[in-house]
Amino acid sequence: MIPGPEHLIIAPILIPFFAAALMLIYDDRQRRAKLAISLTSALATLICAIELLSRAKDYGPGGAELGLYRLGDWVAPWGIVLVNDRLSALMLVLTAALALPALVYAAAGWHRQGPHFHSLFQFLLMGLNGAFLTGDLFNLFVFFELLLAASYGLLLHGGGQLRVRAGLHYIAVNLTGSALFLIGVSLVYGATGSLNMAHLATLVPTLPEGQRALLHAGAAVMGLAFLIKAGIWPLSFWLPTAYMAGAAPVAAMFAVMTKVGLYVILRLSFLLFGAGAGASAGFGAPVLIAGGMATVIFGVMGILAAQGLGRIAAHLVLVSSGTILTAAGFVLAGADSDLLAAALFYLLNSTLATSALFLLIEPMSREEGGIAGLLALTADAYGLDEREDDTAPGAGLAIPGTLTVLGLAFGACALALAGLPPLAGFLGKVGMLQGLWAGAGATDALAWAFALLLLGAGFATLIGLVRVGVQTFWAADAPPPRVLALEIGPVVVLIGLLVLLALKAEPVLGYMQDTARAILTVPAEAAP
């Protein structure tokens, strides 16, 4: 492990912040300088995240052993606290691992489609990293608003009627979610007098009946805001159009943005309403189970009905979110922690594969015919104009054997998302099935229903993606598209991470099991 000061925990927040501020000084025509700064920032953030992950493996479940960083050295409930534990470090590494390929992909020409792309991208990274590291609800709100503000600009990057229309819906929905979050935080503070997450965990079991009702109301309102962000049904109507409308590197990063809502749900549900919460234990579990299963069903229906790869990829995000929410609900209701560990493993696989799939959409639809025709049909079916021409400029190194490389990458994404061997998606689903039957947190009927949904979602994903693959690689008469190495290289890197995840499944699953047990343990360092 690389030795370093305790201040390293704040580096994933400060590095993109200073990079974004520095790039605002540069003229927008100095794109090469901005790209170099942005790539350097993303690489430095990845190195810091890996080091924090290495340190988090040595932490125990007790709060005294956690990586705590008190800004100003103020203690709870007044101080601002950053926390580096197994879950937050995992999300930091995942975010940075997606950011670097997305930026390389953007260098093929996507960053030239609008102003301040790299600054907005770095502010998005700052908001994501801050949301994963913060230990109190107020600063969670601050970082949440920061990443949302950056995502508004990134979604509109490149312009066009489709993006503007989807962006306006996206902004309206997320502003509503932010208002609900603020209301919920106010109610929680009124009931407990604290916004420090670990401190709240020690206060919840001792609350009197009247204050407990206020806490439940605040948690429900606040949870609704993050369930909107996670895409739970029926609050997911905005997500498919918004995600498929974004530029390719933006959509690839949006795949992890949905996980912010899941992260907060996991963090607060087990921290406030876990087994040690007294009369509040298990609060919200039925909602997570029912809503998660409904989200999976909605995502499966969208996959089967979609005519374009962009809409299929967006609905795959919903399937991933619904699966993790359902697993979290079962564990909150008393199921074995191995179910949560397998769900976290599945989260890694699905996020990497979905991001790679978003990067493949435009190269696969570059030429007329094939999937481009299907995208036009999708636009007509949903009353939208055709997707804007985001074709990268001709300059750059084009790869030989384009269809072969695209086909192999697409096939690997299909295997990972459908949960088929030999990739890690299969291991994640098998692990969830084993964890589901290992505990007694739900009735047999619900457990069987979730098991059937896992299998059915994989089968539907396979049908939807194979249909698109056949149309693109076998039935198309157009000549192979010209794809730059800067475009396919990031996809190959993400596929390589999926393969590595499968090869190193045993140690990764071991880390996930330790992470799940740590999530279910109330931190000790919480008292003021």
* Residues 6+ away with beta carbon under 8 Å from 366: 372, 391, 481, 482, 483
pLDDT for the residue 78:
65
Cα–Cα distances (Å) from 3 to 55, 92, 356, 358, in that order, read: 10, 19, 34, 37
User: Is there a contact between 20 and 126 (Cβ–Cβ < 8 Å)?
Assistant: yes
User: Is there a contact between 150 and 120 (Cβ–Cβ < 8 Å)?
Assistant: yes
| Cα 384 off chain centre by | 27
DSSP 520: T
**Which pairs with CB-CB distance under 8 Å and at least 24 residues apart come from 362-365?**
362/248, 362/390, 362/391, 362/487, 363/406, 363/481, 363/483, 363/487, 363/488, 364/309, 364/406, 364/410, 364/472, 364/481, 365/308, 365/309, 365/472
Q: What is the mean pLDDT of each run of 10 residues along the chain (528 residues)?
A: 65 93 82 89 94 79 58 68 89 94 86 80 94 89 90 83 84 90 89 83 81 86 89 88 86 90 89 69 84 94 88 92 92 85 93 93 65 40 42 46 82 91 88 78 75 92 89 69 80 93 91 88 52
**Residue labelled with tokens 């999926």:** 498
Report d(CA 142, CA 148) in Å as an integer: 10
**Residue labelled with tokens 């007294």:** 278
pLDDT for the residue 292:
92
Count of alpha carbons within 13 Å of 163, Cβ hemisphere only? Answer: 21
* Residues 6+ away with beta carbon under 8 Å from 130: 13, 139, 142, 143, 146, 147
Report d(CA 375, CA 162) in Å as an integer: 13
pLDDT for the residue 487:
83
pLDDT for the residue 366:
66
Residue 371: is it exposed, middle or buried by C-beta count within 10 angstroms (0-12/13-18/19+)?
Answer: buried
pLDDT for the residue 65:
47
pLDDT for the residue 64:
39
pLDDT for the residue 362:
82
pLDDT for the residue 63:
39
Distance from the first to the final alpha carbon of the chain = 32
User: Is there a contact between 236 and 298 (Cβ–Cβ < 8 Å)?
Assistant: yes
Chain segment 462-484, per-residue pLDDT in tens: 999 998 888 877 766 666 667 77
